Structure 1
Amino acid sequence: MARQNYYEGLSADYSRPGLVEKDHQVKLIQRSEEIGNLQEAELPAIGPDYTLEQIEAENREFWPTHCEALRQGRGDLLTKEYRPDLVYHCQDGPYHGIKEQAQREKHWWAIIAQPGVTMCWPIVQFWGEFTHFEWICFDDETHEQIAKGSVCWVRRGHRGGCYYKSEQLTFTRDVFASDDLLKLILTNA
């Protein structure tokens, strides 16, 4: 199979550090805030008025905004990506609803978004409402791996948000965030 650039056609490339200009980062955060406000109370039906093609296009637009929100530790924006009735399968779960996983996930966000660490997503693939991605975090100074994972989201575009997430996470340096790191992520929540 031919090698490919997974970010071809997307508005920004998060496959490694340093590829997104500061002014574009600001625009992506603004768009993340806008997208977070488009989620409807009821999960919209897939049909002629909201097709899988439209949903996939919206998921492709959304992807760089998610990456930037995570790099900036914007817990407020990350929480808005989920539906209130989220189902989240991972080794610590399963979790049902965004309140149930919040206590655990805030530690993960704090560790992967801490100062001096950069998260990258070398692989992202889209198919309708499905997004598969792999991520890895590196210490900017020592270049050691901090954490990595493989994720599948089921996201019904901007109108629906993420209603199912399955993730395998491996933390290699820290498992729980320090109080100082938690304060950084929670000030943005």
Structure 2
Amino acid sequence: MTRQNYYKDLIADYSRPGLVNDELKAKLIQRSKEIGELQEAELPVIGPDYTLEQIEAENREFWPTHCEALRQGRGDLLTKEYRPDLVYHCQDGPYFGIKQQAEREKHWWAIIAQPGVTMTWPIVQFWGEFTHFEWICFDDITGEQIAKGSVCWVRRGHRGGCYYKSEQLTFTRDVFASEQLLKLINT
């Protein structure tokens, strides 16, 4: 198998630190806000008016906005990525609904978006409404691995949002964020 750049057809590359300039970061945050407002009350039906190809294209457009929102600790934008009836399977779960998930996930967001830590997503793959990705966070000073994970999202494009998430997370330094770090997450 040949090696590939998973970001070659995306607007921004989040496989390593330092690849996205400030102007593009601002555009991605703005687009994240816009996408968050497109989610419909009912999960849209896949069919001739909303095809898997369109959903995959929207998921590809969405992906860099998610990465930038997480790097900036924008919990307000990250929460809008999920449907209210989200099902989230992980080692602390399962969580049913966005309120159950939010209380736990805010600690993870605070740890991985803390100052002096950079999150990267070296692998991202798309197939229709499925997005598989692997992530890792490093301490910017020591190079120490802070956390890593492997995730599968089922996201029905901009109109549907993420309604299922399965994640394996490994936190190697902290498991719960301090109050100081939690205050840095915009909610």
TM-score (norm 2): 1.00
Match of 1:106 in 2: 106
Letter in 1 for 2:122: P
Listed one character per residue, the Cα deviations across residues 120-158 of structure 1 (whole Å, up to 9, x for unaligned) are 000000000000000000000000000000000000000
Distance, in Å, in 2 between the alignment partners of 1:11 and 1:173 is 32
1:165-176 matches, within 5 Å, as 165-176=165-176
| 2: CA distance, partners of 1:59 / 1:105 | 21
In structure 2, the partner of 1:23 is: 23
Q: CA RMSD in A?
A: 0.3
Displacement after TM superposition at 1:61 (Å): 0.1
Instruction: Measure how far apart 1:31 and its partner are.
Output: 0.1
Cα drift, residue 101 of structure 1 = 1.1
The match for 1:122 is: 122
Aligned ranges 1:22-41 → 2 under 5 Å: 22-41=22-41
Which whole-Å CA distance do the structure 1 matches of 2:160 and 2:173 have between them?
Answer: 35
Query: Identity, % of aligned pairs?
Result: 88
Matches within 5 A, 1:33-182: 33-182=33-182
Structure 1 residue identity aligned to 2:69: A
AA matched with 1:13: D
**How many residues get paired?**
187
- Tell me how far apart the structure 2 counterparts of residues 62 and 103 of structure 1 sit (CA, whole Å): 24
Amino acid at match of 2:119: M
Q: d(CA) in 2 for partners of 1:144 and 1:100? A: 30
Letter in 2 for 1:31: R
SS in 1 for 2:38: coil
TM-score (norm 1): 0.99
- 2: CA distance between counterparts of 1:5 and 1:102? 32
1:35-71, CA deviations, whole angstroms, 9 ceiling, x for partnerless residues?
0000000000000000000000000000000000000
CA distance in 1, matches of 2:148, 2:3: 22
Alpha-carbon distance between aligned partners in 2 of 1:103 and 1:130, rounded to the nearest angstrom: 25
Unpaired stretches in structure 1, ≥5 consecutive residues? none
User: Runs in 1 of length 4+ with deviation above 2 angstroms?
Assistant: none
Q: CA deviation at 1:181?
A: 0.1
- Partner of residue 7, structure 1: 7
Distance 1:113 1:41 in 2: 30
1:79-134 alpha-carbon deviations (Å, 9 max, x no partner) = 00000000000000000000011111000000000000000000000000000000
Counterpart Cα distance in 2 of 1:119 and 1:112: 7
1:158 alignment partner, SS class: helix
